[in-house]
């Protein structure tokens, strides 16, 4: 009989323990940790997202209020979920959301992002959600939306900078390089990568816009010498023709001079007489004194 009474007690204990474990698991999973892989889950539904860093004192002070907000929101079935992003583990998300100060809180409603700038106590954050005061806040414009193409590029640059910083730290701590040595390696790598990118860009441009082929014909040296000889002969013939023309012009001018001199001697007297006659006719008789 003792065994019969102990079986229901064991079942009750198992039931209550299972209920407690489920409740605790729901409370623990209420505040979700976001990273580069699962951050798009906040594009559906209503979320409150916190960006923090473990070394940030203000973030550590907000931790208790944030957990309480998550617990109350789950208990009241407000339909809002809470999430957190560690910027040291997910630098791309900090660039995607343009986080410039810590802690930063965003309210997300069906892919519409609004930054929460109110007080950081539990009552104020609950009121922001319950009374829909987020409707009074202007959403983030489309070109700055975290899911836009340009912010995706910004996120990639943030991740690249974090990777370069990790490499810099490794070179200094693991290999014992001085700071200037690490910077020198980065400078050489930058020049090398820039040269490769420039070469690739030139190849792409040549493929898209190929240069026009010239219609020049290759001429042998013999043909070139022959062309020079022909040009020299043509120049000599031209000079000879010019000399002949000059001789003819000189002979013609001498003949014209001779004929002109003869005619001037013959007609000079007549012209002189005629001129004297004209002068005589034009003279007036002098008056008597």
**Average pLDDT of the chain to the nearest whole number:** 78
**pLDDT tops 60 at residue 1:** no
The rounded distance, in Å, linking the Cα atoms of 108 and 99 is 15
| Domain encompassing residue 47 | 27-150
The rounded distance, in Å, linking the Cα atoms of 229 and 80 is 96
* pLDDT tens profile 171-217: 888 888 888 888 888 888 889 889 999 999 999 988 888 877 655 55
Decide if 90 contacts 34 (C-beta within 8 A): yes
Residue 176 lies inside a defined structural domain of this protein = yes
Residues 113 and 172 in one domain: no
Among residues 176, 208, 240, which one ends one of the domains? 208
**pLDDT tops 60 at residue 46:** yes
Residue 91 lies inside a defined structural domain of this protein = yes
Q: How many domains does the chain have?
A: 2
- Is residue 56 part of the annotated active site? The answer reads yes
* pLDDT tens profile 54-84: 999 999 999 999 999 999 988 888 889 999 9
Number of residues assigned to the chain: 289
Q: What is the DSSP letter of 54?
A: T
pLDDT of residue 61: 93
Decide if 79 contacts 30 (C-beta within 8 A): no
Residues 42 and 113 in one domain: yes
% residues pLDDT > 70 (the chain)? 70
Q: Is the pLDDT higher at 94 or at 250?
A: 94
pLDDT of residue 240: 77
Among 53, 59, 69, 84, the active-site one is: 59
Among 56, 98, 145, 167, the active-site one is: 56
pLDDT of residue 214: 55
pLDDT of residue 53: 94
- Is residue 203 part of the annotated active site? The answer reads no
Residues 68 and 182 in one domain: no
Residues 64 and 88 in one domain: yes
Task: Give the residue among 115, 51, 36 at the shortest CA–CA distance from 86.
Answer: 51
Per-residue pLDDT, averaged over 243-266, amounts to 56
For residue 157, the tally of other CB atoms under 10 A from its CB is: 12
**pLDDT tops 90 at residue 115:** yes
Residue 111 lies inside a defined structural domain of this protein = yes
6-30 as b/e, with b when 16 or more CB fall inside 10 Å?
eeeeeeeeeeeeeeeeeeeeeeeeb
Q: Is the pLDDT higher at 285 or at 119?
A: 119
Per-residue pLDDT, averaged over 5-20, amounts to 55
- pLDDT-based confidence at residue 243 (cuts at 50, 70, 90): low
The rounded distance, in Å, linking the Cα atoms of 159 and 144 is 18
């Amino acid at each position: 009989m003792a065994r019969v009474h102990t079986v229901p007690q064991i079942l009750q204990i198992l039931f209550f323990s299972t209920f407690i474990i489920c409740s605790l698991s729901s409370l623990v999973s209420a505040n979700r940790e976001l990273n580069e892989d699962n951050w798009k889950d906040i594009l559906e539904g209503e979320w409150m997202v916190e960006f923090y860093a473990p070394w940030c004192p203000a973030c550590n002070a907000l931790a208790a209020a944030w957990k309480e907000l998550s617990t109350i929101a789950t208990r009241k079935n407000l339909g809002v979920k809470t999430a957190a992003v560690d910027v040291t583990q997910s630098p791309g998300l900090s660039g995607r959301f343009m986080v410039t100060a810590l802690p930063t809180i965003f309210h997300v409603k069906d892919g519409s992002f609004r930054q929460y700038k109110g007080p950081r106590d539990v009552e104020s954050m609950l009121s922001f959600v319950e009374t829909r005061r987020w409707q009074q806040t202007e959403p983030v414009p489309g070109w700055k939306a975290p899911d836009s193409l340009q912010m995706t590029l910004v996120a990639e640059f943030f991740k690249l900078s974090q990777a370069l910083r990790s490499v810099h730290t490794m070179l200094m701590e693991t290999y014992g390089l001085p700071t200037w040595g690490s910077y020198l390696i980065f400078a050489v790598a930058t020049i090398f990568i820039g040269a490769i990118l420039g070469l690739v860009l030139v190849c792409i441009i040549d493929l898209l816009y190929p240069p026009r082929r010239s219609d020049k014909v290759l001429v042998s040296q013999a043909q070139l010498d022959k062309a020079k000889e022909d040009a020299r002969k043509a120049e000599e013939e031209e000079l000879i023709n010019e000399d002949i023309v000059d001789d003819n012009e000189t002979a013609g001018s001498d003949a014209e001079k001779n004929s002109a001199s003869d005619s001037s001697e013959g007609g000079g007297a007549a012209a002189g007489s005629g001129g004297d006659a004209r002068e005589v006719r034009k003279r007036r008789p002098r008056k008597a004194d």
